[in-house]
Amino acid sequence: MVTDDSASASAVLELLDKQAIYENMMFYIRGQDRKDLELVKSTFWPDATEDHGAFVGSAHDFCDLVHERSRTTRYTAVHNCGNVLIEMLGDQAKRETVFTYVRVETERTIVLSGRYRDLCEKRRGQWKVLRRLVIFEWVQTLPPNGDYWEIFGYPSTASRGTIYPDDPIYHDWNVLSRIRGTTTDETERPNP
């Protein structure tokens, strides 16, 4: 017989698992946008596979390929994730994540929309991706519109996104807090 307490405990454990699965995706996105290879790889199991259209194979090999290409080209990119649906299957879970990818280059801006279809697996208490299929919806190329720092009148002292390890997200949070007049104990880089 299932009691209310055991049902509540099971529901809480499922929510904690779903949160861990969600955060796995957020760490992947942060790693891709900040060009942080180790963070990106940490979201996949070593035996994970990736089907990214033009690439089908080891997820870690795909991470290496993307990282190497991003080091040899100059652009700014950001992924925005929308709907994240997670279906629990014991120690595995299906996750669908809608994304929009914006890549700003000198001569153009690329906007791409799609979905990540992931099979995640829990091993030794950690959730990571075991299988990924990227489903592409649409892509559009736009002409450059100018420097957004000039358009919006941001001062040169404003925090500006860049790659790992120079991006402000990796800086000591206590230093940032002192600048803004608050304090926090968060000083470590998150460990997915």
- Would you state the pLDDT for residue 104? 87
Residue 9 has pLDDT above 60, yes or no: yes
Helix, strand or coil for residue 40? helix
Beta carbons within 10 angstroms of residue 86's beta carbon: 20
Beta carbons within 10 angstroms of residue 149's beta carbon: 12
Cα angle, residue 47 at apex, residues 138 and 69 outer, rounded to 5°: 50
pLDDT tens per residue across span 36-73: 999 999 999 999 999 999 999 999 999 999 999 887 77
Cis peptide before 190 (omega within 30 of 0): no
Distances from the Cα of 151 to the Cα of 42, 147, 154, angstroms: 37, 6, 8
Structure tokens at 131: 């299988």
Could you give the percent of the chain with pLDDT greater than 90?
62
Could you give all domains of the chain from N- to C-terminal order, each with its CATH number?
4-146 (3.10.450.50)
Of residues 173 and 185, more confidently modeled:
173
Closest among 59, 81, 82, 62 to 70, alpha carbons compared: 62
Q: Which run of H or E residues covers position 70?
A: helix 59-72
Give me the phi and psi of 167, to 5 degrees please: -65, 140
Structure tokens at 118: 């992931």
Q: What is the mean pLDDT of residues 140-146?
A: 81
Residue 151 has pLDDT above 80, yes or no: no
